[in-house]
Amino acid sequence: MRLSSLALLAGLIGPAAFAAETETAPLRDRHLNSLPRTEEETARVAAITAPARDFSQPQQFEHLSAGAATVRARSDADAFSQPSANLSFEQELDFRVGNGLFKKIWVSSPSSTMASDGLGPLYNARSCQRCHIKDGRGHPPLSAEDSPVSFLMRISVPGEAGEEAIEGYLATQPDPVYGEQLQDFALAGHPAEYTLRITYEEIDLPLSDGDYARLRKPVYHLDDLGYGPLHPAAMLSPRVAPQMIGLGLLEAIPTADILAGADPEDSDGDGISGRANIVWSLEQGRPMLGRFGHKAGQPTVSQQSAAAFSGDIGISSPLFPAPAGDCTEAQVDCLAAPHGDDPVRVHEVDQVALDLTSFYSRNLGVPARRDVDAPKVLRGKQVFNETGCTACHTPAFVTHRLEDRPEHSFQLIWPYTDMLLHDMGEGLADYRPEGRATGREWRTPPLWGIGLTEQVSGHTRFLHDGRARSLLEAVLWHGGEAQVQRDAVIEMPKRDRDALIRFLESL
């Protein structure tokens, strides 16, 4: 069974040592072979990423969302499946091989296809592509009658009484029976862990100028529990698979630049108090800044990929070597089932395959902005800025200068995220802590490519659980630190609200 972040931290280095490590470790980007910026480069970065002041025209290079890695915006469902524009010929070959691994359909063991066996025994999907369809967002159920696709339910329980908590972390641990994630599929002879059913409560919300919105609050029902009732204190968190574009560039943003935007005590009094999630790096053997996942629970693309292989598909790797994936000690038959580990590969996904899958995930190209100079888009950008949305959705960063990753090196990017945790209020709370993230906090999601969601994924479902059926609904679910901005959207003239959405659609 995979250990929780808290168990890893407490068990491997202890609370005192962890506290000492986090004084300096988050500022060290040990996952990157980076060069320090010169004073001249630091000044250039500050100038080019400064907040917009003139909204009569686009900012310089604004149309290139991912710098030199930006790809042409396609008009079909493959818009998120292109390799970054600045890959070499040899790198494109690696990208194609990684794409094959990303799409690979895994089968159960034993099998004649030894390079593809090891599925499950409990799993949510048989391939990475099954969750990240067309490398875009997952497909939540569109109605209460639909079955969820690429939809996960995370689970944990409070830490045991007397457990020594690490400062800033809430003491939680995997469910003793169901682990860290509920799997809704299983191999023959094994019961699936549950069946998910969703109903919705409708909320009518009046807007200015006689407009209105109807929000839908999901209610989750867990049926057909295959291993007995849930722990009485079980904490659940629904998750829809996010889009995959630009991950390598997000990984290459200097940690110091991200932490510069953190204000956990709201010392400037603006109501925004972004916090960093610091998590355990299995690759580095030390704490690192969390960057990936809805609550920033993973530090690198490689660890995020390995965790998904383990939890979603039941596939072992050098980072998560358990061949039974998320099976727990209480699931005896699951642990005893045949698996795909062998003396040649050792793990079902070996280091070479993990590296290729991670390379593919890092280098899915970000499409160029559309209509960046259209008057309505520029007005929407002004509304976005003046309403205060950029307090969390930071428009631009410049990545590290990297010696061995030129495709991600010193790129001006426009992801519209600060990569930090924010309290989003009771409406979006899942009440399940993850590392330093509380049950009300979520990482600010990148907005680049969000306007192409319907084209790529065939739906316009947003937020961590897909409850919002439009970008406007997603904005109106904001609360907590974003309550002021949400209320401003409700009260602003309809023409400005429409312009704001049009701006988001251009990203």
DSSP string, 268-291: T-SS---B--EEEETTTTEEEE--
Q: What's the pLDDT at 1?
A: 41
Q: How far apart are CA 214 and CA 202, in angstroms?
A: 7
Number of other CB atoms surrounding residue 185 within 10 Å: 17
Residue 432 has pLDDT above 90, yes or no: yes
Number of other CB atoms surrounding residue 390 within 10 Å: 18
Beta bridge partners of 179: 175
User: Residue 379's domain spans which residues?
Assistant: 5-506
Q: What's the pLDDT at 119?
A: 96
Residue 343 has pLDDT above 90, yes or no: no
Q: What's the pLDDT at 151?
A: 86
Q: N- to C-terminal Cα distance for the chain? A: 40
User: What's the structural domain count of the chain?
Assistant: 1
Dihedral sign for Cα atoms in the order 485, 487, 493, 498: positive
Residue 453 has pLDDT above 70, yes or no: yes
Position 139 confidence tier, pLDDT thresholds 50, 70, 90:
confident
Task: Classify each residue of 296-317 as buried b or exposed e, where b means 16 or more C-beta atoms within 10 Å of its C-beta.
Answer: bbbbbbbbbbbbbbbbbbbbbb
Q: What is the mean pLDDT of residues 298-319?
A: 97
Residue 237 has pLDDT above 80, yes or no: yes
25-38: pLDDT as tens digits: 555 798 999 999 99
Position 344 confidence tier, pLDDT thresholds 50, 70, 90:
confident
Looking up tokens 């391939």 gives 127
DSSP state of 12: H
Lowest mean pLDDT among 116-125, 133-142, 272-281: 133-142
Q: Decide if 121 contacts 314 (C-beta within 8 A).
A: yes
Assigned token pair, 279 = 């998590």
Position 6 confidence tier, pLDDT thresholds 50, 70, 90:
very low
Q: How far apart are CA 106 and CA 347, in angstroms?
A: 14
**Cα Rg of the chain (Å, integer):** 22
Q: What's the pLDDT at 439?
A: 95
- What is the DSSP pairing of strand 441-443 with strand 421-423? antiparallel
Number of other CB atoms surrounding residue 446 within 10 Å: 26
Q: What are phi and psi of 235, to 5 degrees?
A: -110, 125
Q: What is the mean pLDDT of residues 459-484?
A: 96
Q: What's the pLDDT at 24?
A: 53
The mean pLDDT of the chain is 92
Q: What is the mean pLDDT of residues 358-373?
A: 98
Q: What's the pLDDT at 11?
A: 45
Position 3 confidence tier, pLDDT thresholds 50, 70, 90:
very low
Q: What's the pLDDT at 12?
A: 46
168-226: pLDDT as tens digits: 666 789 999 999 999 999 999 999 999 999 999 999 999 999 999 999 999 999 999 99
Position 9 confidence tier, pLDDT thresholds 50, 70, 90:
very low
3-state secondary structure 306-368: HHHHHHHHCCCCCCCCCCCCCCCCCCHHHHHCCCCCCCCCCCCCCHHHHHHHHHHHHCECCEC
Q: What's the pLDDT at 10?
A: 43
Q: What's the pLDDT at 254?
A: 97
Q: Decide if 58 contacts 355 (C-beta within 8 A).
A: no
Residue 149 has pLDDT above 50, yes or no: yes
Those residues whose C-beta lies under 8 Å from the C-beta of residue 121, and which sit 6 or more positions away, are 108, 186, 187, 190, 314, 324, 325, 327, 333, 334, 337
Q: How far apart are CA 327 and CA 103, in angstroms?
A: 24
Residue 311 has pLDDT above 50, yes or no: yes
Ramachandran class of 9: left when φ > 0, alpha when ψ lies in -120 to 50, beta otherwise = alpha
Position 7 confidence tier, pLDDT thresholds 50, 70, 90:
very low
pLDDT above 70: percentage of residues in the chain: 91
Residue 412 in 3-state DSSP? strand
Q: What is the mean pLDDT of residues 427-443?
A: 95
Output the CA angle 308-92-445, nearest 5 degrees: 40
Q: What is the mean pLDDT of residues 2-7?
A: 46
Residue 15 has pLDDT above 60, yes or no: no
Q: Is pLDDT larger for residue 351 or for residue 112?
A: 351
Q: Which of 243, 247, 273 is nearest to 420 (CA)?
A: 273
Residue 371 has pLDDT above 70, yes or no: yes
pLDDT above 90: percentage of residues in the chain: 84
Number of other CB atoms surrounding residue 450 within 10 Å: 19
Q: What's the pLDDT at 22?
A: 55
Q: What is the mean pLDDT of residues 475-496?
A: 98
Q: Which of 276, 236, 237, 242 is nearest to 256 (CA)?
A: 276
